[in-house]
Amino acid sequence: MPLELKKVAPIELRAAGLDERWLQARIKDDTGLLGLGELEIIGREHRQPYGGRIDFLMHHAETDVFYEIEVMLGALDESHIIRTIEYWDIERQRRPQSDHRAVIVAEHITSRFFNVLRLLNRAVPMIAVQLSAFKLDDATIALHAVTVLDIVEEISDSDVSDQVEQTDRAYWEKKRDPTSLTVMDEIVSALRSRNIDPRLTYNKYHIALGSTGNNFCWFHPRKSAGYCHIEFRLNSESRDAALASLQGIGIDAFPRKTDIITFGITTKNLAEHMAEISGLLATAEEMSRR
């Protein structure tokens, strides 16, 4: 029996009559909703020694990493960013022997704050999760989390020296969900169909893509199945038009520096937009040889 296709659009939780306590309760029931792995809740609305409460303090037992998590409905704002960093700083001082991650969860993370978060990420190990809600029917709402910013993995070739610690594919298949590498594989295949001979270099913090020139694209596979963060370089003259092209087809793409575009994509969305994405990367590859 063929599968039935249904189109759904994201909704605002407040518009559906739901509040932050409802969302916190769902996260409490299943911490896996955040896409950060199986985490143990140490405290909910955890009181800080200097006032205020953090929405969640969670812990990953195997890695001994604590997650200071702030959850909000609607679009991300400055106060929640500041609060999350404050909570992170307090908890890391209380438990200096462990690693800590500042996590901000919001329904919308706009390009304005994405750039701010990236800058902060140089000093604070921050994770940003965009949690979208979809109404499936009158009685059912689905929640889908996408990690739009993660720690360290955001570093590209343009940010590090030539002395990059190289790894191999097995390292990445162990570090991330193997299906997240499928996005990279399908893009490489699409470029080959355009008579480009891609060259992949597996590094500790990214997988670089080049051909006969300089690297022009960097992949950051995620722990979420089938999701990958991508950066590619054009030039300052062509970047804005390419950015508008991606945003015009519904991809949350963001500018970085004067010539970089960054976005996240799933295997499902990649299949729908492969022609546009591979076309832009083919242009980036051509520029890398000039």
Delimiting residues of CATH 3.40.1350.10 domain(s) in the chain: 10-149
Res 164 pLDDT > 70: no
pLDDT at 151 over 90: no
Distances (CA, A) of 133 to 143, 175, 189, 259: 5, 28, 33, 33
Q: Is the pLDDT of residue 273 over 90?
A: yes
**pLDDT at site 246:** 93
Res. 50: pLDDT tops 60: no
pLDDT at residue 153, as a whole number: 44
- pLDDT of residue 213 exceeding 80: yes
Identify the band that residue 224 occupies on the pLDDT scale cut at 50, 70 and 90. confident
Q: Which two tokens stand for residue 233?
A: 């370089």
- Report the top-level CATH class of 157-288: alpha beta
Question: What's the Cα-to-Cα distance from 31 to each of 34, 39, 41, 55, 109, rounded to whole Å?
Answer: 6, 6, 8, 13, 20
The beta-strand segments (E) located in the chain are: 10-11, 40-47, 53-60, 65-71, 99-106, 126-137, 140-149, 199-202, 207-210, 217-221, 227-233, 254-256, 260-266
The CA distance from 270 to 210, in Å, is 20
CATH of domain 10-149: 3.40.1350.10
DSSP string, 240-277: HHHHHHHHHTT---EEETTTEEEEEEEHHHHHHHHHHH
Query: What pLDDT is stored for residue 158 in this prediction?
Result: 45
Confidence category of residue 161, pLDDT binned at 50, 70, 90: very low
CATH 3.90.1150.20 segments of the chain = 157-288
Q: Which amino acid is at 279?
A: G
Per-residue buried b or exposed e for 12-41, using 16+ beta carbons within 10 Å of the residue's own CB = ebeeeebeeeebbeebeeebebbbbeebee
Tokens of 11: 């909704």
The larger pLDDT score, comparing residue 230 to residue 99, is at 230
CA–centroid distance for 159 within its chain? 18
Query: Which amino acid makes up residue 108?
Result: H
152 vs 277: which has the higher pLDDT: 277
